[in-house]
Structure 1
């Protein structure tokens, strides 16, 4: 494997709107990010990913961009962004932006011009097609529900939107569109951005015949992902993107990729892949319901173990994955993946141990380092997320009660991760002096940064120790490049693996059962002296090669 500058780094995702408000308008801002750089540095963070801060109407929380060259005024100014870049550089930290180039906002000047003349120059920046017999051009259901085709009033034309109708898809078959996008990307890289998290990028390749598919629901439509899965050639577009932009700057790129074909892994994240890395969504994908959130599947720890080991094995000789527990599009991992009896600090530390010590790039989402949880909302009106409102309607239409539909939202809503960061136990969790844009989780009185920093056995300090161990001189080689060797895979209640190079082995052993568990790590003729490098309970029983772990215990031995 070619060694890259980002190998061995630890990343942190900031959702700016919910991170820290400094001007009292209830919305987080760039000044809030700047003010907390030292906080992130002390945690051990190297790379900061900012969710979208571009000019936007915020129909989909900034993933609908109306001007790629402007910072939205709710976040601050371009001068403040430049200051953020400079302050991060002083601390040897890197800033990566969210790159949303499958679609833009319907308020973007390109689309506004296209609406006036769908057959003109800007009409070809998008996908305008005439309907069939008074119906849309094909029977695709968008990712957010409803038809993926929106009719242009007063015409026979419809335009394609794989997400919300306010997010028209850009035509990647048009060289002028590509030139516009590449120029914009290079502008940000010239400014000093270290790279990008790349949104929904697998969707850029379309089957231009837009064929109908067999309906998969009572609405007569089919998920638009069927078209994505059925078309070939996305790799050519991605390689062209890389060569005209990222490659020239040695930029770090992490892709959001669903629906990738099984034989494309090396093409995507190999030594010469389209991207530096991509997120491992295998655990998240297990929760998908057949029809929506209301029939979403519960994920047991045994299932989690299987999919993580499978993903690690698949990329072992190929490249690095970006490992996550949660992000802005998922509920909190502490609420989703842990059994009831481990939804406490021991369990949260255990989950963090498993994730941070895997091979790949650890991504920590804001609030994960203090164990933030899902938030119960009293009414669907308390939610802001467009996807949540759609899923609630789907559940009601399917016959669920209001209580059942709300429970589905509590367990799966993206707003669970978007509630404001809990800094202290003062009003609004110290996030704002005004009225927050989204409901603050009431548990902020107990779960907040100030409380955690005042207690040495907190989740925060444990994450700090995890990261420090991963990056330490003695162990950074094995934790960066060592293979993941699953252990005790058939033993119930244990999630364990070794990180192994030719001359070093470290063991990560966790007990997610209700009972104490004893295991033998090595055979009798392999008697190296094992040392406890980290223990979430600080009371592990180690006797030679035999280790006894209590319920919820996570231990790292080397």
Structure 2
């Protein structure tokens, strides 16, 4: 494996709108990020991923970009961004931007020009197609519900949008459009960003015949992912993107990839892959329902563990995956992956231990290091997220009561992770002096950074120790390049694995069950490196783990 500068780094995702508001308008801003850089440095963060901060109407929280070269005034100015870049560099940290190039906003200049002249050159920046038999060109359902096709006013044409109708898809078959995108990417890299998190990128390849497929729902539509899965050739576009942009700058790239074909992993994240890494969603997809969130299911510990282990073994053959517990599109991991008896500081530390020490790049989402959890919303009106509102509607149409539909979306809503960061026990969790754009989780009184700073046994202090261990001179090599191997798979409720080099063998073991477990280790214990319970007992080659205990051991 070719060693890269980012292999031993720890990344942290900031959702700027909810991070810290410095001007009292209820919306987080870039000055808030600057103000908390030392907090992130102390946590052990190297790479900061900023969710979109570009100019946008915010139909989909900034993933609908109206100007790729401008900072949204809600977040500040380009001068603020330049200051942020300079301050991160002073601290030896890196900024990566969110790159949203499958689609743009319908308010973008390109789309406005396309609408003004539906036969002109800008129309070909998008997919303008005539309808079939007086209906849409094909029967695809968008990610946010309803047809992917929206009428072009004053014509017999429609335009394609795989997400909201305000997010028209960009035509990657158009060389001029591609050049515009590549120039923009290089502009940001020239400015000094270290790379990008790349949004929904596999969607850029379309079957331009737009064939119909058998419906998969009562609405007569089929998920647009069907077309993505059926079409070949995305690799050629991704390789062109890499060669024209990232490769020239040694940029770090992490891709959001769903619906990848089997045996394509090496092409995506191998030594010469399209990207540096890609997120591991193997656990996140387990609970998905086939008809929407209301058909989502509980996932057993065994299948969750198996999915992660399988993904780890697959990944280490070719490159590095990016490991997550949660992000801005997922509910909070502490509420999703922990059984009710483990939804406490000890259990949250256990979950962090078994994630951060996996092979790959750990991505921590803001508030994860505090143990932030899902937030209870009292009505659908309290939610902001476009996807949550669509799924509530889907649940009602499926025959659920309003109460049942609200319960269904509460489990999976993206707003669970978008509630304001909990900095203190003061009003609005210290996030803003104004009215927060989204409800603050009421548990901020107990779960907040200021309280956890003072408590040596807090989740925050434990995360600092966990990251410090991963990056320490003594164990950095083992946790970066050490072989991953599952352990104690026959023991019920045990999540355990080893990270080994020829010189060291480290065991990470956690008890997700309710009863005490004694593990017979393959060799004696050289050193207990970290534990979430000071009372853990070990002797010789045995260790006793109580419910929610986690331990990191160097073996002889």
TM-score where L is the length of structure 2: 0.99
Match of 2:189 in 1: 189
Q: How many Å separate the matches in 1 of 2:300 and 2:59?
A: 34
Structure 1 gap ranges (5+): none
Match of 1:350 in 2: 350
Report how far residue 154 of structure 1 moved.
1.9
Q: How many Å separate the matches in 1 of 2:214 and 2:341?
A: 43
1:272-421 to 2 correspondence within 5 Å? 272-421=272-421
**Which of 503, 523, 530 in structure 1 is aligned with 2:526?**
530
CA deviations over 1:242-288 (Å, ceiling 9, x no partner): 00000000000000000001110000000000000000001111011
- Which one is further off, 147-156 or 168-177? 147-156
* SS across alignment from 1:132: coil
1:434 lines up with 2:430 in the alignment: no
Match of 2:505 in 1: 505
Structure 2 gap ranges (5+): none
Report how far residue 502 of structure 1 moved.
1.8
Q: Quick check: 1:530–1:544 contact (8 Å CA) kept in 2?
A: no
Match of 2:165 in 1: 165
Q: How many Å separate the matches in 2 of 1:328 and 1:424?
A: 21
Q: Quick check: 1:293–1:391 contact (8 Å CA) kept in 2?
A: yes
CA deviations over 1:389-429 (Å, ceiling 9, x no partner): 00000000101111111111210000000000000011111
1:50-89 to 2 correspondence within 5 Å? 50-89=50-89
* SS across alignment from 1:531: strand
1:35 lines up with 2:35 in the alignment: yes
CA deviations over 1:85-124 (Å, ceiling 9, x no partner): 0000000000000000000000000000101112210000
Report how far residue 530 of structure 1 moved.
2.2
Q: How many Å separate the matches in 2 of 1:493 and 1:123?
A: 56
**Which of 529, 552, 556 in structure 1 is aligned with 2:552?**
556
Q: How many Å separate the matches in 2 of 1:419 and 1:303?
A: 29
Match of 1:134 in 2: 134
Between the two proteins, the alignment pairs up a number of residues equal to: 554
- Which one is further off, 85-94 or 298-307? 298-307
Q: How many Å separate the matches in 1 of 2:330 and 2:39?
A: 24
Match of 2:104 in 1: 104
Report how far residue 300 of structure 1 moved.
2.3
Q: Quick check: 1:31–1:76 contact (8 Å CA) kept in 2?
A: yes
- Which one is further off, 301-310 or 180-189? 301-310
Q: Quick check: 1:95–1:193 contact (8 Å CA) kept in 2?
A: yes
Q: How many Å separate the matches in 2 of 1:500 and 1:5?
A: 21
1:547 lines up with 2:543 in the alignment: yes
* SS across alignment from 1:115: helix
Q: State the Cα RMSD in Å.
A: 0.6
TM-score where L is the length of structure 1: 0.99
CA deviations over 1:63-83 (Å, ceiling 9, x no partner): 000000000000000001000
Q: How many Å separate the matches in 1 of 2:448 and 2:302?
A: 30
Q: Quick check: 1:199–1:256 contact (8 Å CA) kept in 2?
A: yes
